[in-house]
Structure 1
Amino acid sequence: MLPERDLRAGLLLPLRFVVVLLLVVAPAMASTVTAETQQSHPPLAAQAELSSQAQHPLGQASESEMLLRMVALENRRPPAIWRTMSTLDTGLVHLVGRLKVTGGVPRELRGKPLLMAANHIGVFDAFVLIAACKHLGIAPRFLLAGGLLDAPVLGPALRASGHLRIDRGKASAVEQFGQAVEAMRTTSSPIIVYPEGRISHDPGLWPERGKTGAARLALAAGVPVIPISQWGAHEAVYWGTEKVNGPADLLPLARSGFTAPLRRPTFRVHFGAPVDLSDVDAQRPGAGVRAHAKIMRAITAGLVPLRASEPDRPKFHDPTRPTDTVSPWRPGA
């Protein structure tokens, strides 16, 4: 459910990780993030809440209760490698452009199972999403295509970070979907998915029709869905190419990526209100389709104000991105 095809992603993501390491060595170039939030969400609120509980006198809690609190705190903390990667990621995003975050995750949903569904506009938008989540004090996990987790260099790091695996089109996908449902029910970290399954091919970069997997996952697990709308990340790095046959195929991606800090694009991310799926009966045929439509419309509704000055086609022209589909969700469609 994440970027493009496994082969392309498996080859490109290690390169992107190297770019991260190269760029963050120049933190002096990073600018202050401009963050606009509609409501206050103190960073690491969940950890702070547990820490305040742990400050109670030992006499008020049994040894087993204290142990349970310690285990709960550890379970709510992301793995150290993921905290390190997200810190590097945030440094890169701040270096490349300006991050503006609106909306947020309601306090009552923090530290509980939660699905976050985002539109997919470019190869850099996952980096922007991670930085936006870090700004809100949450550490999400991704539902990733198997090729990403098997990629050299980056694959082991992603597996150690606790991201979930799904092999599309394989017999194991059914079993892994069941595992993802169980993980959704028990995790305290939000899980991010791209319902479209790939970067949009719509000429206006509006969300594609997408797939129902994210909606079916939310219905099966019985978890709330937060729609995430984003705009601007497509200006950081070109789409590139479907198949990588050699270094020359990576040049457009590399050129656009290294010139992005000079262009300083603005990355806008909006966290919308939870999607109301109360009227969708998970046991009835077509439930996944109906829930998917609700999620995609919520994402699109949040996207409209983010790109108010670009209602038709993006001002930034990416000559490498295919434009062979038409979005059914775009306003007026």
Structure 2
Amino acid sequence: MIDERQAGSEKTPVFRLMAAIAVPPIDLIAKLKLSGVENVPKTGAFVLAPNHYSEIDPLIVGVAMWKVGRMPHYMAKASLFKVPVMGRLLKASGQIPVERADSVRRSDPLGAAKQIAAQGLAVVVYPEGSLTRDPDLWPMRGKTGAVRTALEQGIPIIPAAHWGTQLVMPRYGKKISFFPRKTVQVKFGPAVDLSAYAGRKLDSAAFAEATDLVMDAITALFEELRGQKAPAERWDPAKHNQKDTGRFEQ
């Protein structure tokens, strides 16, 4: 685990309050088995890029990051910031409000993420942009938001995968299964090597290539946790006539 003395400045009173609210319930319903924690930077900015297939994933990943000593900063639905108490906590902890892609009001989530990164903090960006549409929960086609933030800020991007949250809350489910206590594995991988893009023009092709590398790294971690091989072709909602209706466009 990361020495708390090195990350103590991130564990502000607001984050400690949020942890006091969130960690005990998560520990009650799920036993987190963390691996690869040595790959999480002890200090400095980085992008964490996890897989996503359950609405409870952000809580699980947030608690996992708390346990390794780094505080997560998320892009969250702007409507949550209007909820009494919750909204104040989200704002005070530096979370990023984002309007839905189809909203009349526009926001700049990546700009906000870059501001967080510029402060030397950790930003969680789900490359898939929404819950995976893959029938077997494998990571689907990624969007470029995570790599854009990492490349433009010159910071590491750490892939992560988890397996077991579907037992706590199924994909698209609204109810949490409390008993029996579930085991959830969370694995952090080494930073994705994006050195080939240093000094290169960062256009849409470069971002797409780098995103594929990140999705490959996430999928490899997921394969290790599941003990299975992923499909040869990554699920693409556009090829299956599905609307990619995420919380926001990344």
Q: TM-score, normalised by structure 1?
A: 0.62
Q: Relative to 1, partners in 2 of residues 1:113 and 1:156: Cα closer, same or farther, differing over 3 Å?
A: same
Deviation at 1:282, TM superposition (A): 4.7
Q: Report the 3-state secondary structure (helix = DSSP H, G, I; strand = E; otherwise coil) of the residue aligned with 1:84.
A: helix
Distance in 2 of aligned mates of 1:163 and 1:209: 25
Distance in 1 of aligned mates of 2:223 and 2:214: 15
| Structure 2 counterpart of 1:287 | 206
| Structure 2 counterpart of 1:235 | 167
Deviation at 1:87, TM superposition (A): 3.0
Deviation at 1:161, TM superposition (A): 1.2
- Does 1:273 find its partner at 2:190? yes
Measured against aligned partners, the alpha-carbon deviations of 1:139-169 in whole angstroms (never above 9, x if no partner) come to 2211223233334442222111111233353
Q: Report the 3-state secondary structure (helix = DSSP H, G, I; strand = E; otherwise coil) of the residue aligned with 2:139.
A: coil
Contact kept? 1:282, 1:288, Cα under 8 Å:
no
Root mean square deviation, CA, Å: 2.5
| Structure 2 counterpart of 1:138 | 70
Greater relative contact order (CA < 8 Å, ≥ 6 in sequence): 2
Contact kept? 2:223, 2:229, Cα under 8 Å:
no
Mapping for residues 81-160 of structure 1, pairs under 5 Å: 81-106=14-39, 109-160=41-92
Deviation at 1:42, TM superposition (A): 3.8
Q: Relative to 1, partners in 2 of residues 1:99 and 1:282: Cα closer, same or farther, differing over 3 Å?
A: farther
| Structure 2 counterpart of 1:328 | none
Distance in 1 of aligned mates of 2:6 and 2:67: 14
Q: Relative to 1, partners in 2 of residues 1:234 and 1:282: Cα closer, same or farther, differing over 3 Å?
A: farther
Contact kept? 2:138, 2:230, Cα under 8 Å:
no
* Gap runs ≥5 in structure 2: 232-239, 243-250
Partner AA of 1:44 in structure 2: E
Partner AA of 1:142 in structure 2: Y
- Does 1:173 find its partner at 2:107? yes
Larger Rg: 1
Partner AA of 1:177 in structure 2: L
- Does 1:299 find its partner at 2:218? yes
Match of 2:151 among 189, 206, 219: 219
Match of 1:263 among 180, 191, 196: 180
Contact kept? 1:90, 1:130, Cα under 8 Å:
no
Q: Report the 3-state secondary structure (helix = DSSP H, G, I; strand = E; otherwise coil) of the residue aligned with 1:144.
A: strand
Q: TM-score, normalised by structure 2?
A: 0.81
Identity of paired residues, percent? Answer: 29
Contact kept? 2:39, 2:189, Cα under 8 Å:
no
Distance in 2 of aligned mates of 1:201 and 1:284: 27
Distance in 2 of aligned mates of 1:103 and 1:264: 23
Q: Report the 3-state secondary structure (helix = DSSP H, G, I; strand = E; otherwise coil) of the residue aligned with 2:195.
A: coil
Distance in 2 of aligned mates of 1:297 and 1:310: 12
Contact kept? 1:114, 1:223, Cα under 8 Å:
yes
Deviation at 1:199, TM superposition (A): 1.2
Contact kept? 2:39, 2:158, Cα under 8 Å:
no
Distance in 2 of aligned mates of 1:233 and 1:84: 24
Contact kept? 1:115, 1:192, Cα under 8 Å:
yes
Greater mean deviation of Cα atoms: 226-235 or 209-218 = 209-218
Contact kept? 2:192, 2:217, Cα under 8 Å:
yes
